């Protein structure tokens, strides 16, 4: 009985020693896993936008020169003498009738309608119904009467004669003062020659 007890005591003594002599196991650290996540961002497709036109300021309407439909483009103002009894007005290409300015250089079949100082207002004329008629409006020229203007009257300088050639054009040379006097009365119907923006010759038409 004594031996068994001692063996038991010995076994109990050895057990703690064995437990103490065994080195403690150290847990291995868990491996670290690094995950790299790449996120691709896709830009959203552009959405159609409604374009709103900004109001623009309308330009003021330009003035259109008033040119009669009774203009003969085959009969432009030029250095040649025009047909006396033409049914249409002569053509003055590119002239701006919104401005008071001289007709193109050359001979115009026309009528002086007024005069202010040395400047005459005149219009083209055409032959209709046995008379020379001017435009209904808008085709008015203005030009100074040259100091040395040549005025050939069809009725004489006093207006009581007939001084014409075979074409019914005036032949009597009268002073500038007589022309200014007639111009102030809205006369005469004539072949009006303009040179460098001045009226240099007026030949009265007899009718």
pLDDT tens for each residue of 143-179 = 999 999 999 999 999 999 999 999 999 999 999 999 9
pLDDT, one tens digit per residue, over 29-38 is 555 444 444 4
State pTM to two decimals.
Answer: 0.68
* Regions of the chain with pLDDT less than 70: 1-69
Nearest alpha-carbon partner for 179 in 137, 140, 148, 134: 148
- DSSP code at position 170: B
Cα 106 to Cα 82: distance, rounded to the nearest angstrom: 10
Identify the pLDDT of residue 49: 52
- For residues 138 and 97, the answer to whether their CB atoms sit within 8 Å is yes
């Amino acid at each position: 009985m004594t031996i068994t007890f001692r063996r038991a005591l010995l076994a109990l003594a050895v057990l703690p020693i064995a437990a103490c002599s065994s080195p403690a196991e150290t847990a291995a650290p868990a491996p670290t896993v690094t995950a790299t996540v790449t996120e691709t961002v896709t830009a959203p497709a552009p959405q159609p936008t409604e374009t709103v036109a900004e109001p623009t300021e309308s330009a003021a309407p330009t003035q259109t020169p008033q040119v009669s439909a009774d203009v003969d483009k085959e009969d432009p103002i030029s250095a040649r003498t025009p047909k006396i009894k033409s049914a249409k007005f002569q053509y003055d290409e590119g002239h701006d009738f919104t401005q008071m300015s001289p007709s193109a250089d050359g001979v115009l079949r026309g009528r002086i309608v007024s005069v202010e100082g040395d400047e005459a207002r005149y219009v083209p004329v055409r032959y209709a119904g046995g008379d020379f008629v001017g435009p209904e409006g808008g085709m008015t020229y203005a030009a100074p009467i040259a100091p040395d203007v040549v005025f050939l009257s069809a009725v004489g300088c006093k207006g009581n004669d007939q001084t014409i050639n075979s074409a019914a054009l005036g032949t009597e040379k009268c002073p500038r003062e007589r022309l200014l006097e007639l111009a102030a009365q809205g006369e005469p119907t004539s072949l009006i020659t303009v040179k460098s923006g001045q009226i240099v010759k007026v030949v009265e038409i007899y009718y």
